[in-house]
A and B are shown apart, each in its own frame.
Chain A
Amino acid sequence: MAPYESDSTTAAEAGGLRAGRHRRRAARYVVPGAVLGVAAATIGLVPALADSGDPDLPEMTAQQLVEKMAESDVDQLSGTVKITTDLGLPDLGGLESGLLSGGSHSDGDGSAADPSSKLTELVTGTHTLRVAADGPDRQKVSLLENAAEYSLIHDGKDVWGYDSGSNEVYHSTVSDRSGELTKEDVPATPEDLTAQALKAVDDTTSVTVDGTAQVAGRDAYRLLIEPKRSGSTVGAISVAVDAETGLPLKFTLTPSSGGAAVVDAGFTQVSFAKPDAKTFDFTPPKGAKVTEADESGGAAQAPKRAQKPDEDLAGNLGGLTVLGEGWNSVATFDTGGEGLPTAGDDGGLGGFLDSLGSKVSGGFGSGTVFSTRLVNALITDDGKVYVGTVTKEELVKAADAAK
């Protein structure tokens, strides 16, 4: 780096001086250009270099791998999970969560730290979770937010929810129903998701081992679960199973229509060492608002409020029957009502619903199909509802057959 503008110009003739100077001036800009190129290349290359290829592991059959997963007895781990969900729902932005949690805020009796209202956020977008577990009695799941965090801590018989953004605490004991929320109601870790997927395995499913992969720096087998028949919206489920412990490390569900994964949840970092004991030690901070689960009616109602309206409907009416089997099964129930409000009788809502769905007709009569990338629902004009992870055509077929 020469401190002076003109190091070798002194000897140059006045005529050549100008041109040489201009050239050298232009040449200086090569430096920032080159630096920019190196920076861009580094950003581009680092992920490519980190992907060090598929590891060599001894052959394993799908049967053996599933057994290994079943035998897996990892009860101490900590790690970071990245979960991306793209159900293809219309992007309501904050509207949906606003509607769901908004009630509890304005009523003043709910809590922002209520697990059921908080974890429904996972339904859309990309989220980073931190998980830690030490035996069956001590677990922690944290949802990382912008400059805030929502933690659900299970320590012995206490379950704490702490929302640092609003500084609110939710407390219940394990005997309460809400204590099981972490594991049962909101599958978020690759392990939970895989357990759900394996429940669906029967003779309509093909399960194969599809090579190996490296996940979170660990060697893993890739288990591929595919529906045998067409007609399902589920294209394939791929699970990366840790070769050493048998723990599912990554879960990917791709739709049959192609495109990005509907659900993609995987560890980005995992450790099987015993987590620090203070991880599970929670005392409500001074000044935080604490809501006890069984204290007020408000908290008890909160889980119900958090349910989607259609789940409410299903719960109230019951009479749920399942048509078909395996991946192409369709759940159906009768609302007993008159189907959806149409534009005619309730301008605003009917028109809005019509714009989201598409009209179909067939042997069953006519109705409206609401599509997402994974779940399709048909609501007939006479009030029957058919829901399944099947294509629109399959749904109509099921409705025809049921008629």
Chain B
Amino acid sequence: MSPAEALRAERAERAEGAERRPGPLWSLGLLRSELLTTFRRWRTLALLTVLAAVPVLIGIAVKLETDDGSSAGGGGEGPAFISQITNNGLFLVFTALAATLPFFLPMAIGVIAGDAVAGEASSGTLRYLLVAPAGRTRLLLTKYATVLAFCLVATLVVAVSALAVGALLFPLGELTTISGTRIGLAEGLARALLIALVVAASLIGVAALGLFVSTLTNSGIAAMATTVGLLITVQILDQIPQLDAVQPYFFSHYWLSFADLMRDPVYYEDLVRNLGLQAAYAVVFGSAAWARFTAKDITA
């Protein structure tokens, strides 16, 4: 499409937009159709299935290992909370989230976020999306909202699957916090829900980063690979002690702070830092994605 043609198309689009100002209900409709498209994809369902399988595997492994009465985790090895699973099945939720948060969850987010814009571009459907009087900013916001919804759904899938497996294989009941105090099952469940929400919120940064990468390229695969590659790079850099001056700025640095919710009283310092950092990533990369996407030539 030549620039003149593009201009004409835009003008036509504008004219239509002026006639029929998109209302908030219309945006909801766009969001709903985006959500349906995303969650109906086989790819998305496969990702969610893999995530749901992780707690099942952990639960069965711990059950088999501790059937003879020995303790799991061999004295502090393995993912966080693993040694407490045998006391209380609810701990499987925390272990499963601690095991999936460093890699499985953000990888799934990276795939969905990377695909959000670049995927449409590579399959040639982005043009048609923009022909509708949605506007680029609105479309981008809808895409981001869809990715965030996936963050929440993915985390809840892990948590619910872990809760089901934990309840089946291990006893539930009063649980001991990592500070040694005891809380009832109802409070334990409330904290588990809170932890799931915090974990979902921990992924906001990756989601924004993925969306930005997605606006840079027209290849869905390239965007996914770049996002997941960045994720792995940051995770590795976060382990190098010589880099401790910059590590607090890595989006993954405070991820495990969700465990602080299992202290009694709750230790908020790192939790607040984590949420602040995620918000900063969302705003910085979200606005970068906006700058890129609204100024981009859409040729496919």
Taken together as a complex, chains A and B put the C-alpha atoms of A163 and B81 apart, in Å, by 11
Q: Is there an interface contact between B267 and A144, defined as CB atoms closer than 8 Å?
A: yes
Contact status of A28 and B137, CB under 8 A, knowing A39-B284, A112-B76: no
Of the four ranges (under 10, 10 to 19, 20 to 34, 35 or more), the interface on chain B belongs to 35 or more
Q: Is there an interface contact between B80 and A146, defined as CB atoms closer than 8 Å?
A: yes
B280 at the interface (CB under 8 A from A): yes
Of the four ranges (under 10, 10 to 19, 20 to 34, 35 or more), the interface on chain A belongs to 35 or more
Name the A residues within 8 Å of B135 (CB-CB). 3-4
Q: Is there an interface contact between B259 and A147, defined as CB atoms closer than 8 Å?
A: yes
Q: Is there an interface contact between A164 and B284, defined as CB atoms closer than 8 Å?
A: no
B233 at the interface (CB under 8 A from A): no
Q: Is there an interface contact between B179 and A289, defined as CB atoms closer than 8 Å?
A: no
B274 at the interface (CB under 8 A from A): no
- Give the Cβ gap from A142 to chain B, nearest Cβ, in Å: 6
Which of A18, A28, A128 gathers most chain B CB within 10 Å?
A28
Name the A residues within 8 Å of B17 (CB-CB). 3-4
Taken together as a complex, chains A and B put the C-alpha atoms of A160 and B180 apart, in Å, by 9
Contact status of A28 and B295, CB under 8 A, knowing A142-B179, A151-B180: yes
Q: Is there an interface contact between A281 and B181, defined as CB atoms closer than 8 Å?
A: yes
Q: Restricting to A1-43, which residues have a CB under 8 Å from any CB of B?
A: 1-6, 9-10, 14, 17-18, 24-25, 28-29, 31-32, 35-36, 39, 43
Q: Is there an interface contact between B73 and A162, defined as CB atoms closer than 8 Å?
A: no
Q: Is there an interface contact between B291 and A29, defined as CB atoms closer than 8 Å?
A: yes
Q: Is there an interface contact between B295 and A285, defined as CB atoms closer than 8 Å?
A: no
B176 at the interface (CB under 8 A from A): yes
Contact status of A149 and B137, CB under 8 A, knowing A35-B283, A165-B83, A286-B171: no
Partner of B71, one of A6, A10, A25, A287: A287
A80 at the interface (CB under 8 A from B): yes
Q: Is there an interface contact between A4 and B284, defined as CB atoms closer than 8 Å?
A: no
Name the A residues within 8 Å of B87 (CB-CB). 167, 285-288
Q: Is there an interface contact between A2 and B181, defined as CB atoms closer than 8 Å?
A: no
Instruction: Tell which of B8-16, B117-125, B151-159 binds the partner.
Output: B8-16
Which of B88, B269, B284 gathers most chain A CB within 10 Å?
B284
Name the B residues within 8 Å of A24 (CB-CB). 295
Q: Restricting to A282-339, which residues have a CB under 8 Å from any CB of B?
A: 282-283, 285-289
A245 at the interface (CB under 8 A from B): no
Contact status of A31 and B290, CB under 8 A, knowing A105-B75, A167-B83: yes
Q: Is there an interface contact between A166 and B283, defined as CB atoms closer than 8 Å?
A: no
B136 at the interface (CB under 8 A from A): yes
Q: Is there an interface contact between A278 and B81, defined as CB atoms closer than 8 Å?
A: no
Q: Is there an interface contact between A167 and B179, defined as CB atoms closer than 8 Å?
A: no
A358 at the interface (CB under 8 A from B): no
- Give the Cβ gap from A311 to chain B, nearest Cβ, in Å: 26
- Give the Cβ gap from A76 to chain B, nearest Cβ, in Å: 15
Q: Is there an interface contact between B256 and A146, defined as CB atoms closer than 8 Å?
A: yes
A279 at the interface (CB under 8 A from B): yes
Q: Restricting to A159-199, which residues have a CB under 8 Å from any CB of B?
A: 160, 162-168
Name the B residues within 8 Å of A112 (CB-CB). 75-76
Contact status of A287 and B86, CB under 8 A, knowing A153-B180, A165-B76: yes
- Give the Cβ gap from A247 to chain B, nearest Cβ, in Å: 20
Residue ID in chain A nearest B294 by CB atoms: A5
- Give the Cβ gap from B275 to chain A, nearest Cβ, in Å: 14
Taken together as a complex, chains A and B put the C-alpha atoms of A28 and B296 apart, in Å, by 11
Which of B180, B256, B283 gathers most chain A CB within 10 Å?
B180
Q: Is there an interface contact between A4 and B263, defined as CB atoms closer than 8 Å?
A: no
Known: A278-B181, A286-B88. 4 other contacts (CB 8 A): A1-B290, A281-B182, A286-B87, A287-B71
List 7 tightest A-B contacts by C-beta distance, closest first.
A3-B135, A147-B80, A147-B259, A164-B178, A32-B288, A167-B83, A28-B291
